[in-house]
Structure 1
């Protein structure tokens, strides 16, 4: 007679087993609604989630340790690989932190171009969120419409920097190139057409009975819990706390721009969806203002700081000293002053912060990245219990995490 299998405890790997009268189920790590290599160990009473524990680390690449073994400029393209849906936002966050540490003043035109790239990236990221979130819940048409709109943004970014996903579009001290001729006109044409696309998304979802049943009063996070659990971005604003780093601690030219910070009080999946929709509308307002400011801005896209920034290509090709300076910066890297710095920016998913501890060497002694998805992933242990298994996909989708920046 075969001996009965011993019941394994909650934390061990298993496709499913039982603890008492409850079932243990592995949601992922290859589940289509997990948005990456995420594994949730769920304890179920029937279909009701009693306990949940997220398991991460399947995509860990040691990004922070890589930074400590690279010169500063080498690490910029690596930042693309964290939140690869908003690569320019990662590029800017790191470059701005180094610039703050070194006291580098970025030219106004470069600041405007950076703002344009960040807001295009924001809309692109929100469109991918909306499309995949809707697909998780069963609304496939929205997914196709979102990707149709997103292609126009990727075309614009490709015309600027040559890349569509991992952009490497921002460098320490400014940007690589100026905007191409007639690029702003093409961007403004997109800004004129996109409101019709947003209306299509809202027409498909706002009065959809299934969508409302699957998102309203599901995954509710109170304002107090959102603050205590380290939420940022839409996850915080949809719970009633109107906090946006672009407004509270302005960087680039955001303090000159007229835009609102959308927020809601319900704190559920539907409130988060509505905040993302409203944010795309605000980004269009920002882009239109930036186009006007760009046309009146003086030429110059790179800081004039020989100690940290390479000279222009024209200077390198005509001046021997500039060529030597460029050679030293490329081979040895810039050497910021000793000290430590933390700089936070408002990315599409929330607060992205870089901490750098410098000893005056060409490589950071310590680099730490505060990614929003990591904190939002930790929420599942708190908010999934009490919901049904089918709600897990809606809650994960509405939190808009990306495992590339969770694991790093």
Structure 2
């Protein structure tokens, strides 16, 4: 729908027209929830006004009515392209409040899952950037490896997209031999596929012309907005939560932080590609470290926190103590300590933070999710001003805006 605005000039002058265009929320590239009211002159964007709120689901208020472990499925619905990172971030926030120390093997298992999720997130984002610039082949090619990642999730927890993976203190079960074999298959095959994916795009003349200089942002402006993750690193700032505030034993791993310089769509694409290589390296390191655990240590997959970790079903049937803990956890009858904590993780598209306040009750008194997409979208108006209409879609894709995280 458009509204032609006539700008009346003195008699004898040429009449100039601008068009008000609704880019979304029904446009396929806006996923049914992004509305951008563009003022365009021909195909040049003069100004933009973004609307937030089409998919608001009141996650934070829902969480205030649930015990800690029941909040995990809510976090799945934030950035659902890399939901295990959301799950792990929430578990670590709870562990920070409860004073739980997880075993090293649990930390390394979590890192494997989180880095698989990062690869899945970047794989989706970069392949969609390709689609939005007219290149569909890369998207079709890499999706089979996103499917393999989901098969690993499925083997570990039974779920694929919204995983609800892990528990406070660790995992609900040990990784099966099938899960390890699928991981080995992924580590063996994906590097070649990723290299071919890069060859399709990195020096592709059409792709470069569509992305270089498109939607740039300076390091100063990115920091002023509160950018984090690949979008900030593409602007030249080497901030990564895994390095600056290590969690889950990330300090035990060797990896580099890819950075760009211009902050445009091309740099964002390159940074995400390089991060996939780094994630592969981290997964391989974690896999090797886990192989070093022997005997009983090789079977550890959770911390000793009976107040918050459901006992094994067989023990519930045979042990009165396990039955009591099972009942109290399921019925939400365990009070948490009073406290106020903030914990953040390096999500697939930036710093995902959880600000939790407890008044000593059985549910969070207040909970706030720091969602990186909410911050990126506020900069969208600035990034597309003066750009072509076709650039508006590419910029949106390269920011990796996830609707579920935007309006939480």
Is the structural similarity TM-score above 0.5? Answer: yes
Q: 1:264 aligns with which of 260, 263, 266?
A: 260
Shift of 1:319: 2.0
Change (3 A) 1:307 1:176: closer
- Structure 1 runs not aligned, ≥5 long: 1-13
1:251-302: CA deviation from partner (whole Å, max 9, x where unpaired): 0021001111111112111011000100000011011111111122313222
Shift of 1:182: 4.7
Q: 1:137 aligns with which of 128, 133, 140?
A: 133
1:239 and 2:238 aligned:
no
Which secondary structure state, in structure 1, belongs to the residue aligned with residue 279 of structure 2? helix
Map 1:188-337 → 2, pairs under 5 A: 188-297=184-293, 298=297, 299-337=299-337
Tell me, in whole angstroms, the C-alpha distance in 2 between the residues paired with 1:310 and 1:45. Answer: 61
Shift of 1:19: 6.4
- Structure 2 runs not aligned, ≥5 long: 8-16
TM-score of the aligned structures, taking structure 2 as reference length: 0.93
Tell me, in whole angstroms, the C-alpha distance in 1 between the residues paired with 2:173 and 2:164. Answer: 12
Map 1:7-406 → 2, pairs under 5 A: 15-18=2-5, 20=7, 21-297=17-293, 298=297, 299-406=299-406
1:3-36: CA deviation from partner (whole Å, max 9, x where unpaired): xxxxxxxxxxx64342633211100002122245
Tell me, in whole angstroms, the C-alpha distance in 2 between the residues paired with 1:109 and 1:222. Answer: 40
1:188, 1:288 within 8 Å by CA — same for their partners in 2?
no
- Between 137-146 and 155-164, the greater mean CA deviation after superposition: 155-164
Tell me, in whole angstroms, the C-alpha distance in 2 between the residues paired with 1:192 and 1:262. Answer: 23
Indicate the residue corresponding to 1:7 in structure 2.
none
Which secondary structure state, in structure 2, belongs to the residue aligned with residue 41 of structure 1? strand
Tell me, in whole angstroms, the C-alpha distance in 2 between the residues paired with 1:62 and 1:17. Answer: 37
Which secondary structure state, in structure 1, belongs to the residue aligned with residue 161 of structure 2? coil
2:103, 2:302 within 8 Å by CA — same for their partners in 1?
yes
Tell me, in whole angstroms, the C-alpha distance in 2 between the residues paired with 1:273 and 1:210. Answer: 14
Which secondary structure state, in structure 2, belongs to the residue aligned with residue 196 of structure 1? helix
Tell me, in whole angstroms, the C-alpha distance in 1 between the residues paired with 2:391 and 2:345. Answer: 31
1:376, 1:399 within 8 Å by CA — same for their partners in 2?
yes
Indicate the residue corresponding to 2:14 in structure 1.
none
2:316, 2:326 within 8 Å by CA — same for their partners in 1?
yes
Indicate the residue corresponding to 2:12 in structure 1.
none
Indicate the residue corresponding to 1:10 in structure 2.
none
Q: CA RMSD in A?
A: 1.5
Tell me, in whole angstroms, the C-alpha distance in 1 between the residues paired with 2:333 and 2:34. Answer: 37
1:137-163: CA deviation from partner (whole Å, max 9, x where unpaired): 111111111212212211222122121
Change (3 A) 1:19 1:300: farther
2:155, 2:178 within 8 Å by CA — same for their partners in 1?
no
Tell me, in whole angstroms, the C-alpha distance in 2 between the residues paired with 1:30 and 1:149. Answer: 30
Shift of 1:357: 0.9
Tell me, in whole angstroms, the C-alpha distance in 2 between the residues paired with 1:271 and 1:363. Answer: 42
1:371, 1:406 within 8 Å by CA — same for their partners in 2?
yes
1:49, 1:385 within 8 Å by CA — same for their partners in 2?
yes
How many aligned residue pairs are there? 395
TM-score of the aligned structures, taking structure 1 as reference length: 0.93
- Between 285-294 and 318-327, the greater mean CA deviation after superposition: 318-327
1:299-334: CA deviation from partner (whole Å, max 9, x where unpaired): 322221234434444543332122112211220244
Indicate the residue corresponding to 1:11 in structure 2.
none
Tell me, in whole angstroms, the C-alpha distance in 2 between the residues paired with 1:22 and 1:333. Answer: 62
